[in-house]
Amino acid sequence: MSKNVFITGANGGFGRLTTLSLLEAGHRVVATMRNIETRNLDAANQLRAAGAHVVELDVTDDDSVAGAVANAVELVEGLDVIINNAGVGSIGLLETFTPADWQAVFDINVFGVQRVSRAALPLMRKQGSGLLVVLSSVVGRVALPFFGPYNAAKFAVEGLAETYRSELSALGIETCVVEPGAYPTNFIDGLMQSSDRSRDGSYGDMVHAPQSTFASFEGAMASSPAQNPQNVADAIVALVHTPAGERRFRTVVDSLGMGDAITPYNEAAEQMTAAIYGAFGMADMLAVNAGAS
């Protein structure tokens, strides 16, 4: 059954691949991004040519989010799926990131998810159904050195999604988290560098560790053809196609080894969550009502 899908950050990476895959599967997609008439004009035109409705959206701006969601509802006459994909990474020694750096990372990766979700949820509540997909990361489960603000933002997104899962379940709205590993996409090119380099000297040779560590990640990705970004798009499409009530809350997508370690961690966390909710008489809040679509 064809769905009306709203996706953020569709200009490249997972967002572009997911948009194209959804269109190929017969869904109606509102692909959103910044700068559709300037920097991202080529990306916007390519997605339009593939059949997407392209809408300007800055997830850091309340008015932009409200306008984009309203525009999307008019274009496709409703919304069934929201995919919060827009994000920015970071790299550097944690101490060298200023509060302003942190605010910039969180404004896109965390507050942006909340802005878009809040704008779309009234419609989903009214129709009594919907799917909220949140793109997290394996570093939203296990923090790695030199990605500090990004680690923390993805941990925050995980908590946000867990809360939405429970609070929306009785309304027929399902929440799912997708946790990709490191993939070779244009996301890498946009990593935020820490802005206060005045403290570098006190770290000695350690100051070179962020870049050398990242270079090793790039080498691992380059040597592993299985680490194909299309895998993430396929996982998202699979969630869209899975009937409500049968979707896994968390899906790890990784071929470099972290996925094998994090999947049992997620399974244990799911058992723990179920036990705690059960102890407080809230077990029913972890499942979407039967019959919701």
Instruction: List active site positions.
Output: 150
Residue 99 contacts residue 24 (beta carbons within 8 Å):
no
The residue to which tokens 């490249």 are assigned: 12
Label the pairing between strands 4-7 and 28-33.
parallel
Distance CA 187, CA 204 (A): 29
Q: Which residues of 65-83 are buried (b: 16+ CB within 10 A; e: fewer)?
A: bebbbebbbeebebbbbbb
Q: How far apart are the first and last CA of the chain?
A: 10
Strand extents, DSSP E, 34-137: 53-56, 81-84, 90-91, 130-135
